[in-house]
Structure 1
Amino acid sequence: MLRPAVNAVQVDCQSLLATARAVSRRRTVHTARQLQQNQSNWAPPASNRRPPNKNYNNNNVDSNNSNSHNSNANLSDLSESLAFLTSNRPPPGNRYQSRRNGNNYNNNNGGNRNINPYNRNRRSDQLETSDNQSFIRYRPFDGSSSRPSRNQYVPGPEDDHGDAVNGNVPPTTPTNPAYAKMLRKLLDLTNNSTPREVFTHAKLMASKGYAPTLETYSCLIQACAHPNVGCSMQETALSLFEELKEEGYTPNSTIYHSLLKIFASSPDYISMERILKEMTGTYGILPDVEGQQHILRHYLTTGQLERAMEMFYERRATGEKVHYNTYMEIIKALGRVNEVEEAMRVMIEFQKEWGSIAGSGIQPIAWYELLNIAASNYHIDGVSYIWKKVVQSPPPGSRTTLNPDDGLCLKVLNTAARHGNPDLALEVFRILTLRNVPFQEHHYAALSAAYARSGQLIPAFRALTLMRNQGIAHTATTANAIIEALTSSGKIENVDSAYATLKDFVASSNDKEVVEVAGFNAVLAACVKLKDLERALGVYTECAALSVAPNTETFNILFKGCVECATPSETPDATPTTPNKELAMFLANEMKEMGLQPDFVTYEELLRVSLYQEEDYEDAFVYLEEMKEVIPGGKVRPMVYSWIAQRLEEKGDERLGMVVEEMKGLGYEEEAKVWEEAVARVAPPQLIYKD
């Protein structure tokens, strides 16, 4: 009955099946010798035999009379007792008729009216009866006292499994009280317990000799579909399913829907299609509402999103209800493929069917999932809609308000920064301020970017100043959004406007409105990006008037200008013309006088200035060696070697082979392959340096 199924619940179902089938083949449990031995060794205890029509109490017990009856026990009494044990009905004078008459078991108490008819737990030696059979069901076989203890369980027909004496296989029909009792317990365990307990009870039923029935298979397959086990017992359920068909049973709707429930979280779409085809085609069983939920969830689990959405909209068109968790699974599945707008449409259907957050329908976790999907994909419309609906201003009377965590707040902040929505960015700052979250560079950078991309340069510069007042150091990319805003139109007038804003900060009476060096460098970088080196130098010379102390990044921007501004604007990818090396050396000396330490970017820009000189580019190799001392491990970025290799190929320099070998030594195999043909053409094999 349970062939390969029990690994998941650690019950030996193979032995269970063997036991059930062995009992079904064996028609006798106890042999004649065992029966004879049982009959010869058993006798009713002497204390329970009472003469008829006499009253007894605790103070008047005739021990001699009791002992005299010990020799009068005959085989007919014993046979009658054993016949009662093997029957499915109680003997005459049974406990049911007796209990209806109080404690008078034979309705003839010999004229004794002192017995309380309501005391059903009186001592048995106070009872008067001529039917010793009434005491056999209470009498233990160890020779101890026959008086039952209080509230002692009295076995009935539902406890007689039919194999106690003659070994006949008990019938597995509802007319058998014992089987009906065990089946009721199996059904109860199926609905209210764990798969382990269900399989354990099924093993007990098999050990009693009950052959598996369709109800048994149905309960076991339902146990395999328990919500706590997901699809981990799929193989067990399918084995039971195939076994019941081999036994000649026809699967019913309950069994098929239990299998659909298992497949709802299973990636095995092949078995799912086979079971569904057999269910609807062979047996004509159509999935009910829950079954359709399971099929829809299976499509989502296996990535069949188109089929899932087609089935979803068909059900919505016909007015069929879609389960709450199914909506959640659909929204998550759409988020995984970045279908934010489709997820928003599903949320609209979600609200129609389950109500808004103001009611008892949609819980905040659903809005959280949708907000996370929209923010992860920088979908500003979805983020703004959800934030305003459930975070900023939820509907009146709403039970709960969505409280996004810090990670989700950061995603929303980055979305606001990318799309230039400073109002949304300030809302995120409000939430984080209420939590006393310490702000860092990326928070202020996003706020500044939101203002800059919306065209509000003054608040963007103020955000940088606020960051400095909070003691937070900026990075080289903090003001990238300001550079993008100043150069997006390609008009140099925007740079002039930004420079005027910086001058207004100096003229302001507010001590906190000072020019931050990050904003100053952003204006310089905008001039360089627009290839106006002269304007950049002009802004640089005003650093003292703006109360700005240049840093290493300031000079790196100017060094970059010495190279970038030498390239024609029409062909930005062309090899730069001769950079202004004299200006670069002047700036390098001024940087040294200010006590600023060069970083690897400084050496990269100076290397480019030297590398693109017409004749003498030997200083580029000097800067390369100095750069190795600055970078931890001496691992120079691969693009630097690409610059050098390109220049050496143009000049036909035989040192190209040495550079390519050095690239391979640093692990830049892919970049080195690009120059292998050039090496074979420019550098003779004997000049290629190898370690």
Structure 2
Amino acid sequence: MEAAEHGRYTEALDIAAQMKTYKIQPDVTTYVALINAAAYHRMWLDAWAILDDMIAVGLHPNTAVFNALIKAQNACTSDYLWQVLKKMDELQIAPDTTTFRLIIVRLTSTHQMELAIQFYHTMKTYKVVPDVFTAMALIGYVAHAGYPRLALDLIADFEAHSLRRLDHSFFMPCLIASAEALYLDGVITCWKQIVHVFNMHPGEGVCLAVIDTAARNGHPDLATDALRVLRTLGIEWKEHHFAPLIEAFCRQMQLKEAIRVLDIMRGEGIEPIFETASALLEVLTSTELIDSVWEITDEILKEGKKVDNIVLQILISASMKLGDLQRAIGAYKSLAEYGATADITVFNSLLQGCVAASHRDLGNLLLDDMKAAQVKPDKDTYETFILLCLTQDDYEDAFFYLEEMKSAGFHPGYNVYSKITRKCLLADDFRYKIALKEMEEMGHEPRLDLKKLVRRKEENKDPSDKLVQAIADTQPQEPLTTIDGAALRFIETGGIEGDAQLPKEHI
């Protein structure tokens, strides 16, 4: 027995042989120990031989014998496992908790989830209650496989048929799987158990996944609670922690609260960027909604607070997204009333609107305003202004600003060269060849549609009107870009819980 229990298989066999020599009858316990020793050394065939010997001497195997035999089959394919179960059925030996645990662990290790769940439910037929190890193996595997809803159902089923309550180690894989699947109900269930029942704190990665789920599902209370846990963990709040909270408020159309998050960020020394409040831009899909946000900004002013510049940028961009250039310009002109100034994002958005409206004169005025405000143009500014020049019959300035762009150290994109080439083709301007050559020098490969247009031009097979139509047909279409109550308490407490001519000069 001692030799078998310590894995000394050869010694155990020698002792068993001596027992036969001295006519000492082995009992069931002896055979269980021998099969376990064979299983330890992955001697699956020997394990079957030991079972046959046991039956030959007139001993009837019990469940423990077959549990050891199942262990011995771990080195084999699943077919051998089914042979063990078939033998148990022939001898009318009922499986116990250990039997099912060995089977389910084996099936999950070989990624046979459906069979594992089937055996789990078969336990009820035998009136066998699964132990915690069986539950951990199955629930953990199902959660890691990306089925959080099923994993939580298994937890509920286990607790319904067992006196034991499962701890946080069962809920953590389910929380991670639920957050990865953006499954809100699962995240809330697991979060409450882990954080509020077991008083455990998930790591930063899990908290970020929870915040993201809260954002996508419009649950600001959950996002706020996750922010609280982050602070408890000693993790410094960053911009990417607050952007999902703003999204959660926006999905609930709690726009004032979403705007106030920006104030909290600045109070924490965090500088928001335009993308932080991009969710606000996404929900402003009508002039009525834009007007409602203007009303909110007026309320904030009446409260003696400053309206964040990001909000005003969002309002201008939202107007541009609706194609309402007039409204956007009106918002731009009212910036001073709110103590705000236009930055490069605002100017670029307005210039994109000028491109859509082919309004060169307005673009000139905006360019003058940029110079007066000492706002330095970026790559988007140059590219947008070049495209604006190309909307006019006289597009000579496009080449001027292309050179200005390169002199400023910016690398013109493919779209700029493509639009210049198309404009030159329409105007029968030989400089399309120069644009194509420079495009390739800049590392841009002309796309198939542009190559076809150039080939038609050079082969001179299409009359002018057909070429114009071909260019129009291949012109890429571009959009006009120009814990209940916790979140409210978080907000309320400030985060504790024309005719003008364009001069030939540098932008």
Shared fold per TM-score greater than 0.5: yes
Distance 1:454 1:580 in 2: 37
Give 1:541 deviation, angstroms. 0.6
Q: Which residue of 1 aligns with 2:293?
A: 498
Which residue among 572, 591, 594 is the counterpart of 2:373?
Answer: 594
Q: Which residue of 2 aligns with 1:514?
A: 306
Give 1:622 deviation, angstroms. 4.7
Give 1:363 deviation, angstroms. 1.0
Q: Secondary structure of 2:6's partner?
A: helix
Distance 2:83 2:420 in 1: 67
Distance 2:407 2:37 in 1: 67
Give the AA of the match of 2:315.
V
Distance 1:538 1:245, change over 3 A: same
TM-score where L is the length of structure 2 = 0.73
TM-score where L is the length of structure 1 = 0.55
Give the AA of the match of 1:288.
P
Conservation of the 8 A alpha-carbon contact between 1:607 and 1:624 = no
Conservation of the 8 A alpha-carbon contact between 2:218 and 2:247 = yes
Q: Which residue of 1 aligns with 2:82?
A: 276
Aligned length: 445
Distance 2:44 2:407 in 1: 65
Q: Which residue of 2 aligns with 1:450?
A: 248
Q: Which residue of 1 aligns with 2:485?
A: none
Matched, 1:465 2:465: no
Distance 1:223 1:407, change over 3 A: farther
Which residue among 174, 177, 188 is the counterpart of 1:373?
Answer: 177
Q: Secondary structure of 1:478's partner?
A: helix
State the structure with more CA Rg.
Answer: 1
Conservation of the 8 A alpha-carbon contact between 1:409 and 1:428 = yes
Conservation of the 8 A alpha-carbon contact between 1:654 and 1:682 = no
Matches for 1:10-21 after TM superposition, within 5 Å = none
Q: Which residue of 1 aligns with 2:490?
A: none
Which residue among 161, 166, 172 is the counterpart of 1:353?
Answer: 161
Distance 2:201 2:88 in 1: 51
Give 1:349 deviation, angstroms. 0.8
Conservation of the 8 A alpha-carbon contact between 1:515 and 1:546 = yes
Q: Which residue of 1 aligns with 2:36?
A: 222
Q: Aligned residues: percent identity?
A: 25
Distance 2:458 2:49 in 1: 76
Which residue among 70, 74, 95 is the counterpart of 1:288?
Answer: 95
Conservation of the 8 A alpha-carbon contact between 1:649 and 1:656 = no
Distance 1:287 1:642 in 2: 77
Which residue among 212, 215, 225 is the counterpart of 1:427?
Answer: 225
Distance 2:131 2:426 in 1: 68
Conservation of the 8 A alpha-carbon contact between 1:225 and 1:259 = yes
Distance 1:531 1:189, change over 3 A: same
Deviation string, structure 1 residues 609-636 (Cα, Å, up to 9, x no partner):
34454563772795488269656xx5x6
Give 1:241 deviation, angstroms. 5.4
The unaligned stretches of length 5 or more in structure 1 are 1-183, 191-197, 227-232, 395-399, 567-578, 685-691
Which residue among 113, 123, 134 is the counterpart of 1:315?
Answer: 123
Matches for 1:402-441 after TM superposition, within 5 Å = 402-441=200-239
Distance 1:436 1:534, change over 3 A: same
Distance 1:608 1:261 in 2: 73
Q: Which residue of 1 aligns with 2:350?
A: 558
Distance 1:533 1:474 in 2: 26
Distance 1:628 1:199 in 2: 82
Name the Cα RMSD after superposition: 4.3
Give the AA of the match of 1:222.
N
Matched, 1:478 2:276: yes
Matched, 1:603 2:411: no
Distance 1:444 1:615 in 2: 47
Distance 1:645 1:259 in 2: 77
Distance 1:613 1:259 in 2: 85
Between structures 1 and 2, the one with greater helix share: 2
Q: Which residue of 2 aligns with 1:237?
A: 43
Give the AA of the match of 2:249.
Y
Conservation of the 8 A alpha-carbon contact between 2:201 and 2:233 = no
Distance 2:295 2:239 in 1: 26
Q: Which residue of 2 aligns with 1:9?
A: none
Q: Secondary structure of 1:320's partner?
A: coil
Distance 1:350 1:624 in 2: 71
Q: Which residue of 1 aligns with 2:67?
A: 257
Deviation string, structure 1 residues 268-313 (Cα, Å, up to 9, x no partner):
7xx1124423651699366723233222233333333333333333
Conservation of the 8 A alpha-carbon contact between 1:237 and 1:259 = no
Distance 1:255 1:642, change over 3 A: farther
Deviation string, structure 1 residues 319-372 (Cα, Å, up to 9, x no partner):
4322323333333333345433222222211321345xxxx6311111222222
Conservation of the 8 A alpha-carbon contact between 2:379 and 2:405 = no
Q: Which residue of 2 aligns with 1:544?
A: 336
Distance 1:534 1:263 in 2: 77
Distance 1:444 1:248, change over 3 A: closer
Distance 1:659 1:519 in 2: 40
Q: Which has the higher contact order (CA 8 A, sep 6+)?
A: 2
Give the AA of the match of 2:203.
D
Give the AA of the match of 1:440.
K
Give the AA of the match of 2:398.
D
Distance 2:400 2:52 in 1: 82
Deviation string, structure 1 residues 189-217 (Cα, Å, up to 9, x no partner):
14xxxxxxx368569989x9x99x99999
Distance 2:220 2:272 in 1: 20
Conservation of the 8 A alpha-carbon contact between 2:382 and 2:401 = no
Q: Secondary structure of 2:338's partner?
A: coil
Give 1:518 deviation, angstroms. 1.3
